[in-house]
A and B are shown apart, each in its own frame.
Chain A
Amino acid sequence: MTPLNTLVFASHGSFGLNLDPFQTNIINLAIVIAILVKFLPGFLGGILQRRREVILAELKDAEESLVHASAALALAQQELSSSKAKADQIRIDGKARAQAIRLEGDHRTIQEMALLKQGADSDVNAEVSRVRDQLRREAARLAIEKALVSLTTKLDSQSQARLIDQSISNLGNA
């Protein structure tokens, strides 16, 4: 690759200034540039100024809403801490109440269990005495039946008489 200066100088002829006002069309260019310089800043400047104002207004709005939002945030944080305290209080109260209720419940349960046991004991005693009565009655009935049976087999007039005598003597002794 050839270095740049040899590149440039490779093209024969030379660079230079051309100051002919008609060949360079410099007068018309000056007029066009003057027109642009006169009108473009007004046109473009207006657009840019409006844009800047819109941006500044938006920034101001944003700052205001930031202030509002931070005030609201502070308020909310304050409320949060007070409600936290309140919640703690409620929690402690609730724990205490729960403890009390549990104790009371335990107590009542124990009492009721005692009552139940007592009831069951008395039930059992009643049953026992009832059964005992029944058994006694049954035994008596059986004894009477047996006695009646043996009475019919063993009893004859002689022994009846003796029995009556004995009974009379017993009565007489009593």
Chain B
Amino acid sequence: MSPPRRLSDTAYLSQMLPLPLALPLAELEVGQHLYWHLGNLKIHGQVFLSSWVVIGALLALVFVGTRKLERDPRGLQNFLEFLWDYIRDLAREQIGEKAYRDWLPFIGTLFLFIFVSNWGGALLPWKLISLPHGELGAPTADINTTVALALLVSLAYFYAGLSRKGFRYFEYYVEPTPIMVPFKIVEDFTKPLSLSFRLFGNILADELVVAVLAFLVPLVVPLPAMLLGLFTSAIQALIFATLAAYYIGEAVHESHH
């Protein structure tokens, strides 16, 4: 067991936990990032690395699963078709029969990326690879990732509404009464905010709970939290995709015929 490497990090933790500082256990880091410099931008390298792994895994899965399509669905093809059915049902239920086809790829991508990110973060032994700074983990445990996803959802539902209804989209703001205008405008800001913070908070909290429990009692005790984490990560992916689809459905919905 190495002594704490960065004193400030351990101090950070000791504010959360009533522990003596000099406890000779594994240290826990929060808020450390592997910074890459791209022009003036500082980007979180560990998020990119794990995102690439997730994206690569998804592409490989889809590529291998659809290489030889048969009428009798077996193995991976059957699994992919099952996923497709699931995502289609989700999108159709939320967006409606008329417009869901346009948004099925977007919703499916969101769901699969978040799901595989979450499960990858919870299941892959990322910490075997040590980085110069920070540590690898679920890409969705970084607020930047979830904010990006949530802003994409905002753009998507604005685009969906405007492209389908033109400027009549803004009738949505005065329905059912014009009193709703300020609330609806505030909603446009709270939607991405709540989407991103919900996902980020859940995944980060899950990782932290597991890390803290593993830090206190290395064996067996973190197991329930890890299994629960798998469950909540799956639910979070579902919630994010469902809400994205719901917002798009709300934007393309025709209230009066």
Contact = CB atoms under 8 A, between A and B. Distances in A.
A171 interface: no
Given A15-B131, A59-B71, A47 B82 contact: yes
Nearest to B1: A22
Contacts of A13: 131-133
A174 interface: no
A28 B127 contact: no
Nearest to B131: A15
Given A2-B38, A18-B127, A52 B227 contact: no
A12 B26 contact: no
Interface size class of A (residues with CB under 8 A): 35 or more
B79 interface: yes
Interface stretch (A32-40, A111-119, A125-133): A32-40
A17 B128 contact: yes
A15 to B, nearest CB: 6
B132 A12 contact: yes
Contact of B128 (A8, A22, A24, A28): A24
Interface residues of B, number: 39
B73 A55 contact: yes
B219 A28 contact: yes
Contact of A28 (B36, B74, B131, B222): B222
Interface in B210-229: 210-211, 214, 218-220, 222-223, 226-227
B211 to A, nearest CB: 8
Interface in B38-78: 38-39, 45, 71-74, 78
B78 A51 contact: yes
B214 A52 contact: no
A14 B26 contact: no
Secondary structure call for the A interface: helix
A67 interface: no
A32 B223 contact: yes
A23 B36 contact: no
A111 B5 CA distance: 132
B133 A25 contact: no
B218 A14 contact: no
Interface string A36-67: 10000000100110011001100100000000
Interface in B123-150: 123, 125, 127-133
Contacts of A12: 132
A33 B120 CA distance: 11
B36 A24 contact: no
A7 B123 contact: no
A92 B170 CA distance: 71
A7 to B, nearest CB: 5
Interface of B: 1, 26, 34-39, 45, 71-74, 78-79, 81-82, 85, 122-123, 125, 127-133, 210-211, 214, 218-220, 222-223, 226-227, 230
The 6 closest A-B pairs by CB, nearest first: A13-B132, A24-B127, A18-B130, A23-B26, A25-B214, A22-B218
Interface of A: 1-2, 7-8, 10-20, 22-29, 31-33, 35-36, 44, 47-48, 51-52, 55-56, 59
